[in-house]
A = this chain, B = another copy of it.
Amino acid sequence: MTSNKITIAVDASGGDYAPHEIVKGAVKAAQKYKVDIALVGRKAILEVLVSHYWNRPGISIVAANQAIAFDEHPVNAIRGKPNSSIVVGVNMVQQSEAAAFVSAGNTGALMAAALFILGKIEGVERPPLCSIVNLYPTIPALLLDAGANADCRPRHLLQFADLGGIYARYVLDIEKPLIGLLSNGEEDTKGNHLTVESHKLMRQSKLNFFGNIEGHDIAKRTVDVIVTDGFTGNVVVKTVEGLGERFVRLRRYRRSLAPSSLLGGQALAQEVGQESLVKGMDYREYGGACLLGVKGNIIAAHGRSQAAAITNAIGLAIRTAEQQVSDKISQEVSPHDSAESDS
């Protein structure tokens, strides 16, 4: 960690496949991206696992002898387990020992730790999870909030739009991101109480606001940034994932009946379009969601992440850290207008 390379801290105790798949994904990421990776977790087992890899430059181990389970209450867990991988990892970001922290562990605990240890950026009320929607492989879009805030107010959605715009600019390289509000109708007046009021705020704002979009606009990539509350966002992201998984399973079954050697090369090549859509529906491809609006770069990876997903989540963490997203948000986020109604 004395090199000039950035260091990404990775939670080796969080997720369904920890620690083995996390270590595998981290070793791969260190090679692929030429970064330093600090594996945070139980030292003894991590040393055994890491020693298994011949080529492991850039991998270090940081001891954290506690782990937070999936069903633990987030706030209680981070208070009661100061030596948990999540608390230690977030602390590394706070101490600038790591440029970002990636965890496939308890997302609630990760968010709570980020809020308590790093704190919110001034002007940000409710940090959202920003997910990558990758249905067009060359031009991903963003969806936020993907699950951090189940109940939201209109001003929160306005702020998600602002934060998503900043993330799209720096991480997706979109100069003037187009923002859409997810609703149940495209007309301005369509929606539930939350979206109708949010629409008005967005229309009045300086955002590059497209207006309402509907569910079918997600697959059409009508906008660069899809804004919604954390409940709807979570349901939508998981619905897409679930369909993607089912496609992958059907394809596997199909291939077990007809191995690729039996399929003509042409038929296989023509599959590419559908393949990329299925890939885009797969959380393993984008790897993680970024928690926006806290003082540090935090990536929540999927609980079921295996090595490839962890490698991709680390890639997202690197891009987020290199673009100094957290700092950019501090500088650019529109201050919360406290005069606004609390509706």
Chain A residues with CB under 8 Å of chain B are 71, 135, 147, 150-151, 182-185, 187, 191-193, 195, 214-220, 228-232, 234-243, 245-247, 250-251, 253-255, 257-258, 262-264, 266-267, 270-271, 273-274, 277, 281
Known: A231-B232, A271-B254, A274-B251. A214 touches B238 (CB 8 A): yes
Is there contact, CB below 8 Å, between A250 and B264? no
CB-based closest 5 A-B pairs: A215-B238, A216-B242, A215-B239, A219-B242, A184-B234
Is there contact, CB below 8 Å, between B231 and A195? yes
Is there contact, CB below 8 Å, between A182 and B235? yes
Shortest beta-carbon distance, A186 to chain B, in Å? 10
Is there contact, CB below 8 Å, between B216 and A236? no
Complex partner residue of A235 from B151, B184, B254, B271, CB under 8 angstroms: B184
A236 and B183 CA atoms in complex are apart in Å by 11
Contacts of A191 in B (CB 8 A): 150, 231
Contacts of A250 in B (CB 8 A): 273-274, 277
A247 and B195 CA atoms in complex are apart in Å by 29
Contacts of A232 in B (CB 8 A): 231-232, 235
Known: A219-B246, A242-B217, A277-B247. A147 touches B234 (CB 8 A): no
Shortest beta-carbon distance, A21 to chain B, in Å? 19
A192 and B231 CA atoms in complex are apart in Å by 6
Shortest beta-carbon distance, A137 to chain B, in Å? 12
Known: A150-B192, A215-B236. A184 touches B243 (CB 8 A): no
Contacts of A228 in B (CB 8 A): 235
Known: A151-B193, A250-B274, A273-B253. A281 touches B239 (CB 8 A): no
Complex partner residue of A216 from B245, B263, B273, CB under 8 angstroms: B245
Contacts of A271 in B (CB 8 A): 254
Is there contact, CB below 8 Å, between A215 and B235? yes
Query: Nearest CB to that of A152 among chain B residues?
Result: B192
Query: Nearest CB to that of A281 among chain B residues?
Result: B243
Query: Nearest CB to that of A216 among chain B residues?
Result: B242
Shortest beta-carbon distance, A328 to chain B, in Å? 28
Is there contact, CB below 8 Å, between A262 and B266? yes
Is there contact, CB below 8 Å, between B274 and A247? yes
Known: A250-B273, A273-B250. A219 touches B243 (CB 8 A): yes
A239 and B221 CA atoms in complex are apart in Å by 12
Shortest beta-carbon distance, A106 to chain B, in Å? 11
Some 24 contacts from A to B, beta carbons below 8 A apart, are A71-B187, A147-B184, A150-B191, A184-B238, A191-B231, A195-B231, A214-B238, A215-B236, A215-B240, A216-B241, A216-B245, A217-B242, A218-B243, A219-B246, A228-B235, A236-B239, A239-B240, A246-B277, A250-B273, A254-B270, A254-B271, A254-B273, A255-B270, A262-B267
A257 and B151 CA atoms in complex are apart in Å by 47
Contacts of A216 in B (CB 8 A): 238-239, 241-242, 245
Shortest beta-carbon distance, A269 to chain B, in Å? 8
User: Can you add 18 more A-B contacts, CB < 8 Å, to A218-B239, A250-B277, A263-B264?
Assistant: A135-B243, A150-B184, A150-B191, A184-B231, A184-B234, A184-B235, A192-B229, A214-B235, A216-B245, A219-B239, A220-B242, A231-B232, A235-B235, A235-B236, A236-B239, A246-B277, A258-B267, A262-B266
